[in-house]
Structure 1
Amino acid sequence: MTAGPWLVLGAGALGQLFAARLATTNDTGSIALLGRHGALNQVRLQETDGNWQTRTLAYPTMAPALVIVATKAFDAEQALKQAQLAPGTPLLLLQNGFSVQPRLSTHWPGPVLCAATTEAAYRQPPPATGVVHAAAGHTWLGDLAATHGALAETVAATLTRAGLAASACDDIGERLWHKLAVNAVINPLTARHRVHNGALAAPPFSAEVEELCAEIAQLMAAAQISPPTEGWRGWVSAVIEATAGNRSSMLQDVLAGRPTERDAILAPLLALADTHALAVPRLRACYHATPG
């Protein structure tokens, strides 16, 4: 089902990283990258070992066998409309949060895989060009109805051979909630205080982390979403430690004057609070303090 060219929609840091890595394998036939201003014919990528590589990409002239949607959450549906894809084209969604994934899973006519990834990358600030692969991670993927397991296995194997470790799973919904919990703490706090992730491990920010984790734990328990093995606070702390030197995607957006994914990341949690009549003052304060 995925034989033939693949297309990456969205030329942000993650889209460029996936396109550059996939350009190193022949599994997909070719890989194209389509950004807001058209197709990119190459990507400059700094690997995790510090070496720079330039990867040549194909032009998106053929109907893709798979589309990796790497746009911001609020741009995903419009980008798909503009791409004018054939009905039934399989998608792999890389968006933060948990908003566009259920909508597209319900309304897109083809298979929709969702991904939760810990790959970290950022674009160099102008006038420099290129993307830095800041930290290698892992990508879990599957569909929310657990009906496209074979496709998920094939895509995961291709990503792994391209140097992006990946695994298919049948609990992607839970994994998306786990990632959302981390993003709901790290992104708004780092964006508001203009700090790297690691700063959240120490006072004065650690107290805010504790309060947000307590509210998230209450919400997840009400929604019967199982916590990570290390618990919500332990899970968030582990990610903060592992990504200490990283700038969150929301901080990057704020510094660049771009719209943020505030609604994709925080609104699902506020909706849970409304559904279960729970007070979450810290999460609501984060929402209102974060630019949209």
Structure 2
Amino acid sequence: MSSHDTRQAPVTLVIGPGSIGRLVALHLQDHNVNALTRDTQIEVRLLGRRTLPTRQSLTDPDGKHRSIEIATLNDPSTAARHATLVHVTTKAYATDAAFSAIAPYLPGDTPIVLWQNGMRVQRPLTRSWSGPVLCASTTEGAYVHNDTQVIHAGRGHTVIGHLDGQHQVLAEQIATTLTHAGLPATAVEDMEVRLWHKLVVNAAINPLVAQYRIRNGQLRDRPFSTMVEATLNELTQLMTALDIPAPQPDDPDSWRRLVWQVITNTANNRASMLQDVLAGRPTEYDAILGPLREAAIEQDIAIPWLDQLWQQWHFS
């Protein structure tokens, strides 16, 4: 947009400058800068509790570095101005506070996309926000190196949709935008099922890599592989009791295939929970393990291994 053009470009706001937040924002911004037509241009803003340097570095899985200039802010009222879409990428435990801070400055019909792990915030915010609320589940692997650098450690795929299958056209538009920006995405109508799938992946990976401070790929080694299998045994039983369709319904072993494939695809990644431990931040242990424990209680299913993992983190 030229300096004399008074038209306001649509604003995509990303709340939460952690690994996934910066990954999404920098890909969108880099695509925007290199867009060939004015119609594809957007203004991307990154909102955090503190202002990061506007010059950010993105390292892709092949080791290539890109330097990207992006608007970074810490004032919700300024960040929300002219926002037409909001990606909320904060940790699950911080999402309510983060969105409450921005909500008064957003038009009531502004679409939001929730990228949180676990199953704590998606349904409550879907019910409470007046505009469309979509959820995203991603297997992209990323970690923050410092205030100016994020590492895209492993390529994955993102699914986006409404918990009840609504707003499919909007989901397809956002998925297309992400795909064009280099983060392959698909709009789905069974988003709640996809979140259960991601919860299984997170529960099998995050607590263990965070406890032992290892990268995802090291779970393939003993004794960690045995621990992953113990988790999967209980998770498979629980998903069956909850009537959650397996990733491949005709393959009873597809839960294991899903988890081990993600471990392989993100072998060099530091999982989000490990990043929190290393940074001295609170973890999402309850958003990941809590809903599983509660579902097991409702189904009267014993999950001693998952209970032990939850207790280790709860009392640590």
Instruction: Report the TM-score range of the alignment, normalised by the length of the smaller protein.
Output: over 0.9
Q: Find 2:256's aligned residue among 219, 233, 241.
A: 233
Equivalent residues in 2 for 1:196-207, closer than 5 Å: 196-207=215-226
1:140 alignment counterpart: 159
| 1:175 maps onto 2:194 in alignment | yes
Residue in 2 aligned with 1:117?
138
**Displaced runs of 4 or more, over 4 A:** none
What's the counterpart of residue 43 of structure 2?
Answer: 30
Matched, 1:100 2:121: yes
Aligned to 1:256: 279
Matched, 1:5 2:11: yes
CA 266–28 in structure 1, closer or farther in 2 if over 3 Å, else same: farther
Provide the alpha-carbon RMSD of the alignment.
1.7
Per-residue CA distance 1:10-68 (angstroms, 9 max, x = gap): 00011111111101234352100001114763422112332222222246362210000
Question: In the TM superposition, what is the alpha-carbon distance from 1:203 to its structure 2 partner?
Answer: 1.7
Given the superposition, is the C-alpha separation of residues 113 and 28 from structure 1 closer, same or farther in structure 2, using an over 3 Å criterion?
farther
Alignment check: 8 A CA contact 1:41 1:56 kept: yes
Q: What count of residue pairs does the alignment treat as equivalent?
A: 288
Match of 1:43 among 56, 59, 74: 56
What are the residue-to-residue correspondences of 1:268-287 with 2, within 5 Å? 268-287=291-310
Letter in 2 for 1:94: W
- 1:212 equivalent to 2:218? Answer no
| Gap change, CA 1:152 and 1:279, over 3 Å in 2 | same
Percent of counterpart pairs with the same letter? 46
SS at match of 1:170: coil
Q: Identify the match of residue 162 of structure 1 among 144, 169, 181.
A: 181
Instruction: Tell me the TM-score normalised to structure 1 length.
Output: 0.93
Secondary structure of the equivalent of 2:170?
helix
**Deviation sequence 1:72-113 (CA, Å, 0-9, x none):** 011111111111322221101111111111111111111011
Deviations 1:207-249 (A, max 9, x none): 2111111111111111100112252222212222222222111
Residue pair 1:32, 1:40 contacting (<8 A) in 2 also:
no
* CA drift at 1:290: 2.0
Q: Gaps (5+ residues) in structure 2?
A: 1-8, 33-39, 73-78
1:46-57 map, 5 Å: 46-57=59-70
Larger-gyration structure (1/2): 2
Q: Tell me, in whole angstroms, the C-alpha distance in 2 between the residues paired with 1:215 and 1:263.
A: 17
Structure 1's unaligned 5+ residue stretches are: none
Q: Deviations over 1:111-154 (max 9, x none)?
A: 011011111111115xx731111112111100001110000011
- SS of residue paired to 2:31: coil
Deviation at 1:256, TM superposition (A): 1.3
The superposition leaves residues 143-191 of structure 1 with CA deviations (integer Å, 9 ceiling, x where unpaired) of 0011100000110111111111111011111111111101101100111
Distance 2:45 2:178 in 1: 15
Which residue of structure 1 aligns with residue 37 of structure 2?
none
Q: Give the match for residue 223 of structure 1.
A: 242
The residue that corresponds to 2:36 in the other structure is: none
Moved more, 112-121 or 53-62: 53-62
In structure 2, the partner of 1:194 is 213
Equivalent residue, structure 1, for 2:96:
77
